[in-house]
Amino acid sequence: MRTRMNTRSSRLTVTFSHPFSLAGYEDELPAGAYEVIVEEELIQGLSFVAYRTAATYLLVHGRGGRAGRTELRLITQNDLETAQSRDSGFDTKHQS
């Protein structure tokens, strides 16, 4: 009998050209490439396979005194999109 996994994860890389901050975290992160992990869970009881986002994490690699440590920061998709929008200058250049 074959069983279906109830969760799955995907990874993507986002790049920030400027230092940025995320809601819920006080520190500013430096510009650079960051890995994002999206965990999804299977929606039960449907006649087709569908997943919903369960959690989104930003991997933050330590620098200076924290070199060698990696932190998983729980964020929302909206937090990520807001930070990317600010980084691209969208918030200031496209307002009416």
Question: For the segment 47-57, what is each residue's pLDDT rounded down to a tens digit?
Answer: 999 999 999 99
Q: Does the pLDDT at position 4 exceed 70?
A: no
Report pTM.
0.77
The pLDDT value given to residue 92: 47
The token pair at 95 is: 């307002």
In 1-96, the DSSP E strands lie at: 7-16, 32-42, 51-61, 70-75
Nearest one of 40, 24, 30 to 78, comparing CA atoms: 24
List beta partners, residue 75. 56
- Centre a 10 Å sphere on the Cβ of residue 44 and count the other Cβ atoms it contains: 7
The pLDDT value given to residue 55: 96
Question: For the segment 63-87, what is each residue's pLDDT rounded down to a tens digit?
Answer: 766 667 899 999 999 999 999 999 9
